Amino acid sequence: MGHLKRQNFPKNWPIARKGNTFTVKPLSKKGIPLLIILRDLLKIAQTREEVKKAIQRKNLLVNNRIVKDERIGLALFDTLSILPSKIYYRLELSEKGKFELKKIKEDESNKKIAKIIDKKTISGKKIQLNLNDGGNFLVEPKFSCMVNDSVVINFKDKKIEKCLPLKEKSNAIIFAGKHSGKIGQIEKIISEQIQDSKAKTYPKEEHKGNFSINSSGSQIKGRKMAIINSNNEKTNVLIKQIMAIE
């Protein structure tokens, strides 16, 4: 049974670092364990055994699926259904970048937003979308969503309901980095070029890669940034740290 030292908690876990030396370790690196949510955040269970009994009775659903292990991790925008009391939550981020549970309606528990982090063609000419929460979907080649866009997933119908493009004037949340938790509108998307000091250098006449080199032969790598306007405060952030939302 895995355990995690409190001082090694991810910064977005909203629990005290003082107390018992160890706590439950999530099954995956993404998200916060269900046990911590029920015991430490919502405080509707006092012990691990209480959570296990609720699981045995099939009283808990995560993303509309029956939970089988209290160590399962909930990622951003995952939903939690507590069936006996008919209470539903969505895991969100506070303005300080900490996980928090928001009460939602029953029909809202059937959906979530996830970000596309990879897109590739597989056998049968299908397109596989890999998402930031570890999930993936197979779609038709005509599917127009691109890497860095978001999708709205319908758990009930087991399909992607719609695409949320990551573009200027889109609403977005910063989910990583020091500005995590901020929500605003994308004012501008820009490309920056930075010198990769750790990369191998090449004489210009030998350069055959898909990157640029400067006069000294060092690689110049590009990165995409976005300017987010949140409550009239502008923040520069990496594209990989933001997600388009509704």
**Band of residue 1 on the pLDDT scale cut at 50, 70, 90:** very low
Angle 181-237-127 from CA coordinates, rounded to 5°: 90
What's the mean per-residue pLDDT of the chain?
85
**DSSP code at position 108:** G
Considering the four listed CATH numbers 2.40.50.740, 1.10.3720.10, 1.10.150.120, 2.60.120.10, the one that applies to the domain covering 111-164 is 2.40.50.740
Residue 85 scores a pLDDT above 60: yes
Which pLDDT score is estimated for 112?
Answer: 97
Q: Which of 93, 89, 132 is nearest to 113 (CA)?
A: 132
Please provide the CATH number assigned to the domain covering 3-104.
3.10.290.10
Select the more confidently predicted residue: 49 or 215: 49
pLDDT tens digit string along 17-35? 555 544 666 666 678 899 9
If one compares 203 and 97, the residue with the highest pLDDT of the two is: 97
Domain ranges of the chain: 3-104, 111-164, 171-245
Give CB contacts under 8 A, 24+ apart, made by 38-45: 38/70, 40/15, 41/14, 41/15, 41/99, 41/100, 41/101, 42/89, 42/101, 44/82
Q: How far apart are CA 74 and CA 99, in angstroms?
A: 10
Q: How confident is the model at residue 192 (pLDDT cuts 50, 70, 90)?
A: confident
Confidence at 9, pLDDT banded by 50, 70, 90:
low
Give the pTM. Answer: 0.81
pLDDT score recorded for residue 21: 42
- Rounded distance between C-alpha atoms, residue 167 and residue 104, angstroms: 27
**Mean of pLDDT values over 76-89:** 96
Q: Grade residue 88 by pLDDT with cuts at 50, 70 and 90.
A: very high
Take residue 147 and report the two structure tokens written for it.
Answer: 């890497």
Q: What tokens does 177 get?
A: 């980095």
**HSE, side-chain direction, 13 A CA sphere, residue 205:** 0
Categorize the per-residue pLDDT at 124 as very low, low, confident or very high, splitting at 50, 70 and 90: confident
